[in-house]
Amino acid sequence: MQPITLKEMEGIRLMNRVDTKFLIKEELLPELLEQIKDDYRAQVVEGEQVCRYNTLYYDTIDAEMYHNHHNEKLNRQKVRARTYVESGISFLEVKRKSNKGRTTKDRIRIPVDEVGDIAHNAAAMEFLSKNSTIPGTEIIPQLANTFDRITLVNNGKTERLTIDSHIHFKNLRTGIEKDATNLVVVELKQDGQCFSLFKSLLTDYKVLPKSFSKYALGSAVTNPNLKTNRFKNKLRYINKLTDTEDDTND
């Protein structure tokens, strides 16, 4: 694919954005990319088209944010620190979902070596006091997550695609680690309801949209102490894709 720089990507705002997620098998990805190679450009960061992401999710000791998601609370949030490995940049982020389904995000840059210890970062604590419903003093690192990401933009610059693979979870409370083998998470960010070639292709392959949270699902498969019954159908769907056994509990 033709490249597009990170600076060029920053200029694609996509106002009135619609986000849609899909889950596919990794073996299907090369076939899909081959069919869209002339219609999309690939983001390049530090010479790399496939970039490594490290994410650390914070939550209360009793996983309040996880349970709010599991219980389908309409107004909820996630707190995470995300590191872009190739560029060596980390951000502390608060991502909120409203009762109208709208997602908003605020973030500040933090030193990479302070990602796991934001309690001693005054700027991080002030940021959380202003943007989080839960004080920074009440949250701790819960789940670490790594994955590879490809970011594409269509030639018309009306949509972005993020394609995440090689997803790995490590639960910092239980020590349990899991690989989402063969699973690829695709997120389509569109400018309104514009036509999407990639979405059309997925429809041809009978791949339907599927809501997905790396934090919620990663926690569910790495912490047997958490309630997971409302995620059962989704976990079975993922296990069918990845050919793994469902070893989660109610």
Domain of 137, CATH number, reads 3.20.100.30
With a cut of 60, say whether residue 236 has pLDDT above it: yes
Burial of 238: CB neighbours in 10 Å, binned 0-12, 13-18, 19+:
buried
Percentage of the chain modeled with pLDDT above 90: 76
The pTM of this model reads: 0.90
The answer to whether 134 touches 65, Cβ cutoff 8 Å, is yes
Q: Is residue 14 included in any domain, yes or no?
A: yes
Beta strand spans in the chain (E): 2-5, 17-25, 40-44, 50-59, 76-84, 89-97, 103-110, 140-154, 159-171, 177-179, 183-191
Separation CA 202–CA 216 (nearest Å): 24
The total number of residues shown for the chain amounts to: 250
* Domain range enclosing 17: 2-242
Q: Is residue 248 included in any domain, yes or no?
A: no
The pLDDT-based confidence of 6 (bands split at 50, 70, 90) is: confident
Q: Is residue 110 included in any domain, yes or no?
A: yes
**What is the domain count for the chain?**
1
Predicted pLDDT at 249: 38
Q: Is residue 27 included in any domain, yes or no?
A: yes
Separation CA 190–CA 249 (nearest Å): 36
The answer to whether 93 touches 139, Cβ cutoff 8 Å, is no
Higher pLDDT pick, 99 / 214: 214
Mean pLDDT of 140-156: 96
With a cut of 90, say whether residue 186 has pLDDT above it: yes
Q: Is residue 88 included in any domain, yes or no?
A: yes
Q: Is residue 250 included in any domain, yes or no?
A: no
The pLDDT-based confidence of 250 (bands split at 50, 70, 90) is: very low
Q: Is residue 191 included in any domain, yes or no?
A: yes
Q: Is residue 247 included in any domain, yes or no?
A: no
With a cut of 50, say whether residue 206 has pLDDT above it: yes
